[in-house]
């Protein structure tokens, strides 16, 4: 008799918790159409934000900004050199000394 009482006492909270576990499932089924639509939109929005932030992290990891800075610096250095040569050639073209 004591074993039966002990098993009943131990199983009663388990049975109560299993029954209360069913309640949220029923509540999910009773959602309205507007709630389902808004949840779907929120999930799409979160997916888009997460994907965009993942792409931004990937771009930061590729160090594109540093590469663009280096390319700009090298290009301006080269162009300033050729600009100086061109100015010198034009100066000698227009102001050449007749020998």
Give per-residue pLDDT as tens, 14-27: 666 655 555 555 55
Dist CA 43 CA 37 (whole Å): 10
Per-residue pLDDT, 97: 74
CA dihedral 33, 36, 42, 48 (to 10 degrees): -110
Question: Does the predicted TM-score (pTM) go above 0.75?
Answer: no
Residue 99 pLDDT > 90: no
Per-residue pLDDT, 55: 86
Phi, psi of 31 (to 5 degrees): -65, 145
- Token pair, residue 5, equals 């009482």
The residues near 31 (Cβ < 8 Å, ≥ 6 apart) are: 39
- In the chain, the percentage of residues whose pLDDT exceeds 70 is 79
């Amino acid at each position: 008799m004591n074993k039966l009482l002990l098993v009943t006492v131990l199983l009663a909270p388990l049975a109560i918790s299993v029954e209360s576990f069913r309640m949220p499932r029923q509540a999910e089924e009773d959602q309205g159409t507007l709630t389902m639509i808004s949840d779907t939109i929120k999930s799409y929005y979160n997916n888009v934000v997460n994907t965009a932030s993942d792409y931004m992290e990937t771009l930061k990891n590729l160090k594109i900004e540093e590469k663009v800075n280096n390319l700009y610096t090298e290009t301006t250095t080269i162009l300033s050199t050729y600009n100086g040569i061109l100015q010198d050639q034009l100066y000698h073209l227009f102001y050449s000394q007749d020998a």
